[in-house]
């Protein structure tokens, strides 16, 4: 992992109360960045570190996203709609990305594993591989595929799109991971996974040391 100390940035995180978003906020704050955590509702007390500024915005209806983003150096979108509202993922992402582009700011979009190719059957992706996804994950996977398809055409030189591996669960921060491009990262046992804590490490490493401008990439153990 990169070890040269980056400059302190003002980072705004959308979806900051979610499982991934809250860990991205914590990782950014732990590295000394000035963080604004954006969520639809006021976060519960103690949700974020005392150094983190909080902002309540409904991305669907907010009219000042560009102005809010313009005050920051980097935008991270970790948005995830609640169950039953999966189709909202694309318009929510579009709103944040278009505001970031209008403000001429770098951005990172946290996507899903859906568009990644299967290592053993590269003609299939996580979404299309027969029997790979549980039924409960299909709707969000479809939304993530649609999000990806829109984003890859709008990253230009300022955006990156990071896909998690097949399994993304709460766990331990080790600070270690491997990077891939368009195929699931798997370990020697064929497992594709990473803790949310280490996924947040990967997001902030990309934030501090951009290696995938205009590209999608993925990580895993």
Tell me, what's the pLDDT at 27?
A: 98
Tell me, what's the pLDDT at 4?
A: 66
Distance CA 56, CA 203 (A): 23
Tokens of 165: 């591996």
Residue-wise pLDDT for 66-100, tens only, equals 999 999 999 999 999 999 999 999 999 999 999 99
Tell me, what's the pLDDT at 3?
A: 52
Residue-wise pLDDT for 16-66, tens only, equals 999 999 999 999 999 999 999 999 999 888 889 889 999 999 999 999 999
pTM greater than 0.75 (yes/no): yes
Helix segments in the chain, DSSP class H: 19-30, 65-69, 89-102, 138-151, 196-208
Look at residues 143, 139, 54, 147 and name the one whose alpha carbon lies nearest to residue 95.
Answer: 147
Band the pLDDT of 194: cuts 50, 70, 90: very high
In the chain, domain spans: 10-220
Tokens of 171: 């766990």
Distance CA 95, CA 98 (A): 5
Residue-wise pLDDT for 112-153, tens only, equals 999 999 999 999 999 999 999 999 999 999 999 999 999 999
Residue 137 phi, psi (nearest 5): -100, -5
Residue-wise pLDDT for 170-186, tens only, equals 999 999 999 999 999 99
**Residue tagged 């519960």 (tokens):** 44
Tokens of 34: 């000035």
CATH superfamily of 10-220: NAD(P)-binding Rossmann-like Domain (3.40.50.720)
């Amino acid at each position: 992992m990169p070890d040269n100390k980056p400059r302190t940035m003002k980072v705004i995180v959308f979806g900051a109360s979610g499982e991934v978003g809250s860990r991205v906020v914590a990782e950014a704050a732990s590295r000394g960045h000035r963080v604004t955590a954006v969520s639809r509702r006021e976060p519960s007390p103690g949700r974020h570190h005392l150094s983190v500024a909080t902002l309540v915005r409904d991305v669907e209806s907010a009219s000042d996203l560009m102005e809010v983003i313009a005050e920051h150096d980097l935008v991270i979108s970790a948005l995830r709609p609640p169950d039953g509202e999966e189709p909202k993922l694309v318009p929510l992402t579009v709103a944040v990305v278009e505001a970031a582009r209008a403000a001429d700011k770098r951005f990172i979009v946290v996507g899903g594993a859906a568009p990644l190719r299967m290592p053993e059957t590269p003609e299939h992706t996580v979404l299309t591989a027969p029997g790979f996804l549980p039924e409960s994950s299909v709707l969000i996977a479809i939304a993530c595929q649609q999000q990806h398809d829109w984003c890859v055409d709008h990253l230009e030189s300022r955006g990156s799109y990071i896909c998690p591996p097949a399994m993304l669960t709460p766990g331990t921060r080790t600070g270690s991971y491997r990077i891939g491009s368009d195929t699931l990262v798997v370990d020697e046992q064929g497992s594709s996974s990473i803790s949310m804590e280490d996924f947040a490490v990967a997001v902030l490493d990309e934030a501090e040391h951009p290696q995938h401008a205009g590209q999608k990439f993925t990580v895993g153990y």
